[in-house]
A and B are shown apart, each in its own frame.
Chain A
Amino acid sequence: MANSAPLTIDCAGRATRAINEEIRRAADDGVPEVELLNPQARHNLGVSVLKPIHVVYRGHVGSFTAGLCDGITAEVHGTCGWGVADNLMSGEVVVHGNAATSAAPSIRGGRVVVCGDAGPRSGMILKKGELIVGGNTGYMSGFMMQNGRMIVCGDADTGLGDSMYQGVIFLGGQAKELGSGLEEVDAENGELDEVAALLDRFEIKAPAKFRKLQSDRKLWHFNKHDFAAWKDVL
């Protein structure tokens, strides 16, 4: 029988393994929400939770927060270390602060929202799902993206979307340099409205306009006549 009472866990002084086991047990028991107090920038909090539950992190968290989860929702009230929501299968993780390097690495579904800035390598090898960055993002963001969607409201550093196979990047600000194999295309009808509505949901201010970037597919197969594109990526 589902347990409808929210759970509060004070992380201070407790082992990460014990905290994660308690979150997983709560999800198994149908607890709708767990609140984590005093995360103290600890790594690997909320890893591998595979049943639906809402996790609220009250404070800064370390690396791989909510890593390898499926079907959870989470909100982080603080900044995140490396690799937030690593390999997320489905669900939604919202960071109400900044995220360090490698936000949402290799996610295979769901949505990761960083309301502030994201570090380098955000959305690297994104497979499916979506990464939204409310502020700026660092170098090599979207590197080797395989599919899915990345929305960056601010600026991007060098190498944005380099060598991406599929998927799209919406960029609101400037890119210091676009990566190899990208092309700019027109957004489809209603696409930008849908992006604006989504940003509104997370109270992120939408930029005046977006550029839509996607793979030009020239790197899908080697072409000796296009060596300029390949010299950097082979």
Chain B
Amino acid sequence: MSETPSTPPPAHAGDSSVEVLEDAAPAPNGAYPRPDSFSGVWPPEVIEEIQEKAALGRYQIRGQATKRRGLPSFDDLVFVPAGLSRMPLEGYREKCDTQVVIGEGNCENPLVLERPIMIAGMSFGALSVHAKRALGMAASRCGISTCTGEGGMHHEERRYSDKLVMQYLPSRYGMNPYDLKKADMIEIGAGQGAKPGTGGVLLGLKMSDEVAEMRDLPEGVDQRSPCRHPDWMGADDLYMKLEEIREVTEYKVPISIKVGAARIGNDVRIAAKAGVDAIVFDGMEGGTAASPTIQLDHAGIPTVAAIAEASEALADMGKKDTMKIIVGGGIRNGADAAKCIALGADVVYLGTAPIIAMGCHKPIYLEDYARLGTSPYECQHCHTGLCPVGITTQLPKLMERLDVDEAADSVTNYLNALTMEIQLFARACGKNRVSDLDPNDLRALTYDVSLMTGVDMVGLGGRTPWWKKF
């Protein structure tokens, strides 16, 4: 077995050769039958995991998101639309407003989103420039924003994104005052749901000459980003840092702060006190281009639980009307998004879903999936830089596989469908503004989600949940 079965052998991204795929050793997963006689304690996937660590000598790294099943989820909630007690709105006739404004009254140019959706931060480096361009085109058509992610602001992304959020992260890759001034919102990054408490990872094959130059790193190096900002450590320092960024951007654009959902109630309180315009967080289902697998599966809290805790904290701080909540992590469709909003979110933050919409997991180039030891629908090999469909790669031959116009159309279609689904639930609940959805529009199917969200159990009711206090 090679040194790093899940990490391809060192190669220069600039080699522009697909042959490097052939050097990647196939991983063994999926190679066995799964009879009932396998141990419940030591099933094949656990044995494979141990075997891989025995070969690698380090923890496993992979992309996409946790594979855990059985987490508390949005599926544990259902809407209770209008009946006799409320009147629904006509789905095809009556307007249902979707606009959200971030930073209103606190900066010169608030960020106006035509829909309660933002494209999550995904770096140039993690994604190809073609993928970034397609996301920018689709987001611009939909009146929503994209986000630079960690690698700095690529000029193509700025060109194609009408509304662009720039992340200000511990690594400060590509950071400069000029790009900060070009941004429509600044997002101070302090963590992500896929790996809260750790820094970014970008393995060497994706560190092309252009990516390396933007990040001031050597070409081909395995990048490990710092997890902590170099110059602020806590709540009081955040206030000073916030003032510095407002000075750079001349108080023109809103500033948010992003964390991975963990101690989210306290984080929201600190962010609210510091005076940000929005808090962004993703739950443990949040996506990534590369994370330690063990971290994906065992750190952070589920998105559905995090929203309730964050909403309560923000209401407790008296800022529910002025500071926005932007939520990501495993949001798949309009039902998930509408449930987020009903629980207190203002905007949903989508990363993985638009990537899938543009072609991730598409059943084409099957032989290249096979070379990675995987197949469509189970591939989580973003970290390798050998993305068969050309999205999470920096190899020119693979990048060419993504048709930018087609990808932009697909993402636009998906975002349109998602928006219609959100409106569908709002209208069905008798709301002419999506933002009017509230926890009373929901019921919980399970006791645990009822307990963690305060949403009444189906068929029960009458108790006083937290939001009724405010």
- A-contacting residues, B1-26, CB 8 Å: 3-4, 7, 10
- B-contacting residues, A99-156, CB 8 Å: 101-102, 105-106, 108, 121, 124-125, 127-128, 143-144, 146-147
* Nearest chain B CB to A231 CB, angstrom units: 10
Task: Select one of A101, A166, A234 contacting B218, CB under 8 A.
Answer: A166
A64 and B10 contact, Cβ closer than 8 Å, known pairs A70-B177, A106-B230, A165-B217: no
Task: Select one of A50, A63, A124, A165 contacting B240, CB under 8 A.
Answer: A63
Q: How far is the CA of A94 from the CA of B138 in the complex (A)?
A: 47
Q: Please name all residues of chain B whose beta carbon is closer than 8 Å to the beta carbon of A221 when the two chains form the complex.
A: 10, 204, 221-222
Report the stretch among B242-250, B366-374, B462-470 that lies at the interface.
B242-250
A89 and B176 contact, Cβ closer than 8 Å, known pairs A43-B243, A64-B240, A224-B56: yes
Q: Which residue of A lies closest to B233 (CB)?
A: A101
Q: Return the CB mask of B214-258 against A: 1 if under 8 Å, else 0.
A: 011110011010100011100001001101100110110000000
Task: Select one of B170, B216, B221, B248 contacting A127, CB under 8 A.
Answer: B216
Would you call A83 an interface residue if the criterion is a C-beta within 8 Å of the partner chain's C-beta atoms?
Answer: yes
A63 and B204 contact, Cβ closer than 8 Å, known pairs A47-B247, A87-B172, A89-B177: no
A124 touches B230 (CB 8 A): yes
Would you call B107 an interface residue if the criterion is a C-beta within 8 Å of the partner chain's C-beta atoms?
Answer: no
Would you call B175 an interface residue if the criterion is a C-beta within 8 Å of the partner chain's C-beta atoms?
Answer: yes
Would you call A34 an interface residue if the criterion is a C-beta within 8 Å of the partner chain's C-beta atoms?
Answer: no
B231 touches A86 (CB 8 A): yes
Q: Return the CB mask of A47-88 against B: 1 if under 8 Å, else 0.
A: 110100000000000111001111000000000001100110
* Nearest chain A CB to B395 CB, angstrom units: 18
Would you call B410 an interface residue if the criterion is a C-beta within 8 Å of the partner chain's C-beta atoms?
Answer: no
Q: Which residue of A lies closest to B199 (CB)?
A: A144
Count of A-B residue pairs with CB < 8 Å: 117
Q: Please name all residues of chain A whose beta carbon is closer than 8 Å to the beta carbon of B172 when the two chains form the complex.
A: 87, 105-106, 125, 127
* Nearest chain B CB to A186 CB, angstrom units: 22
Q: Please name all residues of chain B whose beta carbon is closer than 8 Å to the beta carbon of A227 when the two chains form the complex.
A: 57
Q: Please name all residues of chain A whose beta carbon is closer than 8 Å to the beta carbon of B232 when the two chains form the complex.
A: 82-83
Q: Which residue of A lies closest to B225 (CB)?
A: A144
B237 touches A125 (CB 8 A): no
Q: Please name all residues of chain B whose beta carbon is closer than 8 Å to the beta carbon of A83 when the two chains form the complex.
A: 230-232
A108 and B240 contact, Cβ closer than 8 Å, known pairs A146-B217, A220-B222: no
* Nearest chain A CB to B31 CB, angstrom units: 24
Q: How far is the CA of A128 from the CA of B176 in the complex (A)?
A: 13
Residue among B176, B178, B216 facing the most chain A CB atoms (10 A cut-off)? B216
Q: How far is the CA of A221 from the CA of B167 in the complex (A)?
A: 26
Q: Please name all residues of chain A whose beta carbon is closer than 8 Å to the beta carbon of B237 when the two chains form the complex.
A: 63, 82
B230 touches A105 (CB 8 A): yes
Would you call B171 an interface residue if the criterion is a C-beta within 8 Å of the partner chain's C-beta atoms?
Answer: yes
* Nearest chain A CB to B315 CB, angstrom units: 30
Q: What class of interface size applies to chain A in its complex with B?
A: 35 or more
A48 touches B224 (CB 8 A): no
Q: Please name all residues of chain A whose beta carbon is closer than 8 Å to the beta carbon of B226 when the two chains form the complex.
A: 124-125, 143-144
B176 touches A87 (CB 8 A): yes
Would you call A25 an interface residue if the criterion is a C-beta within 8 Å of the partner chain's C-beta atoms?
Answer: no
Q: Please name all residues of chain B whose beta carbon is closer than 8 Å to the beta carbon of A108 when the two chains form the complex.
A: 175-176, 216
Would you call B180 an interface residue if the criterion is a C-beta within 8 Å of the partner chain's C-beta atoms?
Answer: yes
Would you call A158 an interface residue if the criterion is a C-beta within 8 Å of the partner chain's C-beta atoms?
Answer: no
Q: Please name all residues of chain B whose beta carbon is closer than 8 Å to the beta carbon of A176 when the two chains form the complex.
A: none
- A-contacting residues, B196-223, CB 8 Å: 204, 215-218, 221-222
Q: How far is the CA of A62 from the CA of B172 in the complex (A)?
A: 21
Q: Which residue of A lies closest to B216 (CB)?
A: A127
Q: Which residue of B lies closest to A69 (CB)?
A: B177
Would you call A20 an interface residue if the criterion is a C-beta within 8 Å of the partner chain's C-beta atoms?
Answer: yes
Q: Please name all residues of chain B whose beta carbon is closer than 8 Å to the beta carbon of A101 when the two chains form the complex.
A: 231
A224 and B3 contact, Cβ closer than 8 Å, known pairs A44-B247, A83-B231: yes
Would you call B69 an interface residue if the criterion is a C-beta within 8 Å of the partner chain's C-beta atoms?
Answer: no
- B-contacting residues, A159-178, CB 8 Å: 163, 165-166
Q: Please name all residues of chain A whose beta carbon is closer than 8 Å to the beta carbon of B58 when the two chains form the complex.
A: 222, 224, 230, 234
Q: How far is the CA of A50 from the CA of B247 in the complex (A)?
A: 12
B240 touches A62 (CB 8 A): yes
Would you call A187 an interface residue if the criterion is a C-beta within 8 Å of the partner chain's C-beta atoms?
Answer: no
Q: Please name all residues of chain A whose beta carbon is closer than 8 Å to the beta carbon of B447 when the two chains form the complex.
A: none
Would you call B59 an interface residue if the criterion is a C-beta within 8 Å of the partner chain's C-beta atoms?
Answer: yes
Q: Please name all residues of chain A whose beta carbon is closer than 8 Å to the beta carbon of B180 when the two chains form the complex.
A: 68
Q: How far is the CA of A3 from the CA of B171 in the complex (A)?
A: 39
**6 CB < 8 A contacts A-B:** A48-B248, A63-B240, A64-B240, A68-B177, A108-B175, A165-B217
The chain B residues found within 8 Å of chain A, CB to CB, are 3-4, 7, 10, 56-59, 170-172, 175-178, 180, 204, 215-218, 221-222, 224, 226, 230-232, 237, 240-241, 243-244, 247-248, 250-251
Given contacts A63-B240, A68-B177, 16 further A-B contacts (CB under 8 A): A44-B243, A47-B244, A48-B247, A67-B247, A82-B232, A83-B231, A86-B231, A86-B244, A102-B231, A105-B231, A146-B217, A147-B216, A163-B224, A166-B218, A220-B204, A220-B218
